[in-house]
Chains A and B, each alone.
Chain A
Amino acid sequence: MDELVKLESVSKYFGKHVALEHVDLTIRRGETVGFLGPNGSGKSTTIRVMLGLLKKSGGEVKLFGKDAWTEAVDIHKRIAYVPGDVNVWPNLTGGQVIDVLGKLHGDFNEEKRQQLIERFQLDPRKKSKTYSKGNRQKLALITAFASEADLYIFDEPTSGLDPLMASIFRECVRELQEEGKTVLLSSHILAEVEELCDRVSIIKEGKIIETGTLEELRHLTRISITAETKQPVTSLPGRSDVHQWEADGAKVHFYVDAEGLAPVMQELAGAGVVSLESRPPTLEEIFLRHYESKAGEGR
C-alpha cells in the first residue's frame, strides 16, 4: 500500500523545550488514522511539522513522497486541513470566508459547498466575528469537505460542535472513507476515534507510546472480567497478571492481561463458574491506563 505520510524519528525543539521526540507515524492510502493525546502532548505540533509550518529539528517528514518543508506548497494542494482553533477575518461573512479559502485551495466543489452549508446549518450571511467557536469550526470543516484532496487532516475538529453537528461530522468522514480518501483525525474524544479510525497512535509528552489497530491495542491490554463462582477463588488476587480485584460475595470483577486469560479461565472453571462476562477494554480504558501508569513510572 502507498504510504501517503511517513514520519521517521521526527524531533522538534523550541529552544530547550522538547516538543517532539523521535516521532514515527505512517499513514497509508485509504486509511483513517486516529491521533490521540491530551492537550499539550504534541498533536498539533506534529501536524504543523507535517504541513511545513514548523521546521523539524531532526528526522524525516515525507508526505506523498515529498519533503514537508521544502515542497510544502505542492503538498498543500493535495491536503485539506482544519486547524484546532479556527480564526478568520472578522469582517468577512461566513460564506465569503468559505469561498476565499476554497478558491485559494483550488479544487473546490460548488455543489458540495451548498449541501454542506445546509447540513451543518450555517448562516453564511453573518459576519465571522459574530460566530461562536463551533460556527468558526464549521467554516473550516465545510471548506475542507468541499475541497478535493487526497489527505484530510482534522485537528480536534469537534471540540466546539454540539452532539448533533459532531455526528454530521462523523457522517462526512465516513463519506470520505467510502470515496477511498485518507484521513488523519487528531482528537481526545475517544468514542469518535473508536468509531471512525482503522488505526490509532497515542502520543504523550512528545513521544508516540502506542500505535496499531484497535484490535492490536486491545490484545496488548487488559480484559475486563465479571464472574460469579460457587466457591471463592482465592488464588487469583495474588497473580501478577490480575489487576484491580474487587470481590462482592460470590461476585468478582477484575482486569486480566491478555496473555494471562487462559490460566485465569481455568482457575475460574475450577471454582465452579456460574456466570461470566468478559469485555475487551474500551479505548478510554487503554488511553487512561497509558496515561496513569506511565505517569506513575516517570516519578
Chain B
Amino acid sequence: MSMFIGTGRLFLVMLRKERVRLPIWAVSISVLFLLSILSFPETYPTQEDRQGRALLLESPALRAMAGPGYGLENYTFGAMITNEMFLYVAVAVAFMSIFMIVRNTRAEEENGLSELIKAGVVGRISVTTAAFLLMVLANLFVAAVVIFGMPYTIEGLSWNGSLAFGLGVAGVGIIFGAVSLFMAQMSESAGAATGISSALLGLAFLLRAIGDVAGVDAWRWMSPIGWGQAMRAFVDERWWPLGLFAGGIVLLAAAAMYIDYRRDDAAGVLRVQGGKARAGSGLTHLLGLQSFLFRWVFLSWAAGAALYGVAMGAVSEEAADFFADNPIGEEFLVQAEGATLAESLFATYMAFLAMLAAGYALQVMTRMTREEKSGRGEILLVQSVPRPRWMLDYLLISCTGSFMLLVISGIGAGTLYGYYTDSAEGAWKVFFAAIAQTPAVWVFIGLAALLMGLWPKALSLVWLVYTAFTLIGLIGPLLQLPDWVNDVSPYAQIPGVPAEDWTAWSTVILFSVFAVFTVVGMYTIRKRDLII
C-alpha cells in the first residue's frame, strides 16, 4: 500500500534519532521502579507491618494519590506495589509516550523538517505509523523489564501478577501515546498537542482518584489508568481490561492515521487562532516581558508546590503514627527534644520543599545563558538595557517565585494540619517552617548569579551542585556520610523548624552569602564578553 511506503526506513531513522533519549526514559522508569520496591521486604518485614501500611490507605488523601485499595485485608508485597506504585509507573510511561510521539510527528512538521522527508518516496501516513510503532516498542520494553524484573526483585512475587502489572503499565503508556498521536494530527502546534494530551492524562488521574476515594466504579472506568488498576495485579488478576486498551488504541491510532491521510502538510483540524497583533502595556517593559515568558514555568511549579503542601498536611498525622511503629524512618527525621513526631516529620518535609523551590529558581536562572547564546539576550541588550538590569529580572523572578512556592505550599500544609489538629498555632508553625526555607533556596540563586558574571559557560554547574546537595539531603542519612558533608549544604543550615527552634543567625548568614554572590555577579557581568 503506497500510503505506508518507507515506514520501515523511517522507523530506523527515528530509532537512531531517539537512541539516547528514549532509552534514558525507558530504562530510568523501569529501573527506578524496581529499585524503589527493592527496599520493601526490609521496610515491612512482617505481615503486621504490612497491615499497618494498609491502614494508611484508608485515608482519602492517600487513596487519591495511590490506588483503589485492592487486597488490603491481606496486604502482600504484590498488593502493596499494585496499590501504591502502579499509578506512578503508568503516569511516567504515559509522559514518555506523549513526548516521544509529539517530538517525532507534529514538532518536526512545525519546524519544517517533515516537509523534506515527505517530499521523498514516503507514504502519506508513514511518519505517523513509524512513530506509533516506536512508541509501542518503547512501552513493551518497559513492560518487559518490569515483568521479568519484579519476581527477581522481591521473592515470592508471582509471574501472573507481574504480567498483569507490566501489561497494565504498557496499556496506559500506549493508549496515551495514541491519544497524543491523535492530538498531533488535530492541532497545528506541537505545544498544544503535548499540552492537551498531558491535560487528558491529568484528567484520567483525577477521574480515578474520585472513583477510588468515593469507591464508585463508574468514575474509575472513565480513566485508562483505572483500567490498568482494574487488572488487579497480584491480588486477583483480571485480563479483560486489556480488551479496553486494545479497542481504545486501535480506535485512536486509526483516527489519527485517517486524519493524517486526508489533511494538508503542516495543517491541523483545530484552527490556530491568530495571536495578538500588539503587545499590551504589561509586556513592553523588561520585567513584564520576562514574567510573561516564565508564566507557565512558574504555574506548573506552583501546582506541584500546592500538591506537595496539601499532601504534607493531609498525611502528617497518619504518617506520624506509621513512623512511630517503624524505626527505619527515624534516620530521615529531624530529631529534637520536645517535638511531636508530626513536627519532626514536617521539619523533614520542609527540607524537601526547599529542594523543590530551588529547582524552580535554578530553572529560571539557568535560562540566562540560553538567552545569551541564542542571540535573544543580544537583541535585548542593544535596546539600551544595562546588563545588570537584565540580570535583575531573572533574580526577581527566581527570588519572588521561589518564595511564593514556599508560601503556597506552606498555606496548603498549614491549613490542613491546623484543621486536623484544631490548632491555629500548629497551622502557623507549619506555615512559618515553609517560608523559613527561603534563605537556603536563595543561596542557590546567588551561586547562579555569581557564575553568570564570572564564568557563564559553566552556569550549568549549579545543577551539579544542586543535585549533589539534594541527593545528600535525600539519602545522606542512609549513606551515613561524615557530618561535615551535610554541614556544607545550604539546606542543612536552616534549623529543623517546626521541630527545632528557629534562629535568626543562620538566616542572616545565608542571606549575606546570597547578597554577596549576587552583587559580585551583577558587577562582573558588566566586565565580560557576551557569549555569542
Contacts and interface: CB of A to CB of B under 8 A. Distances in A.
Contacts of B274: 123, 125-126
A248 to B, nearest CB: 46
Given A73-B385, A104-B385, A125-B277, A53 B286 contact: no
A106 B383 CA distance: 8
Q: Please indicate which of the listed interface residues A53, A91, A97, A140 has the most CB atoms of chain B within 10 Å of its own CB.
A: A53
B384 A105 contact: yes
Q: How large is the interface on A (under 10, 10 to 19, 20 to 34, 35 or more residues)?
A: 35 or more
Contact of B380 (A93, A96, A104): A104
B293 A130 contact: no
A205 interface: no
Contacts of B278: 95-96, 99, 124
B293 A89 contact: yes
Nearest to B284: A103
Contact of B384 (A92, A104, A124): A104
Q: How large is the interface on B (under 10, 10 to 19, 20 to 34, 35 or more residues)?
A: 20 to 34
A127 interface: yes
A125 B275 contact: yes
B246 interface: no
B367 to A, nearest CB: 11
A86 interface: yes
Interface stretch (A76-84, A195-203, A220-228, A238-246): A76-84
A100 interface: yes
A36 interface: no
Contacts of A79: 382
> Majority SS of interface residues in chain B?
loop
Interface in A251-282: none
A123 B274 CA distance: 9
B271 interface: no
B276 interface: yes
Given A48-B530, A104-B384, A140 B379 contact: yes
A126 to B, nearest CB: 7
A100 B279 contact: yes
Nearest to B293: A89
A44 to B, nearest CB: 8
B375 A85 contact: yes
Nearest to A51: B382
B293 A100 contact: no
A125 B277 CA distance: 5
Contacts, number: 101
B529 A101 contact: no
Contacts of B375: 83, 85-87
Q: Please indicate which of the listed interface residues B110, B278, B286 has the most CB atoms of chain A within 10 Å of its own CB.
A: B278
A219 interface: no
B462 interface: no
Interface string B362-384: 00000000000011101111111
A129 interface: yes
Contact of A88 (B379, B382, B530): B379
Interface string B352-366: 000000000000000
Interface in A93-120: 93, 95-101, 103-106
B383 to A, nearest CB: 4
A240 B314 CA distance: 95
Q: Please indicate which of the listed interface residues A104, A123, A140 has the most CB atoms of chain B within 10 Å of its own CB.
A: A104
Contact of A96 (B110, B279, B382, B385): B279
A58 to B, nearest CB: 14
A55 interface: yes
B277 A124 contact: yes
B529 A54 contact: yes
Given A100-B289, A106-B383, 12 more contacts: A53-B378, A53-B382, A53-B529, A55-B527, A74-B384, A76-B381, A76-B382, A83-B375, A86-B379, A91-B293, A103-B279, A129-B110
Task: Report, nearest first, the 8 A-B pairs whose CB atoms are least far apart.
Answer: A99-B279, A125-B274, A93-B275, A103-B284, A95-B277, A96-B279, A104-B383, A76-B384
12 contacts: A81-B382, A86-B375, A86-B379, A91-B293, A95-B277, A95-B279, A99-B279, A104-B285, A104-B383, A124-B277, A124-B278, A125-B276
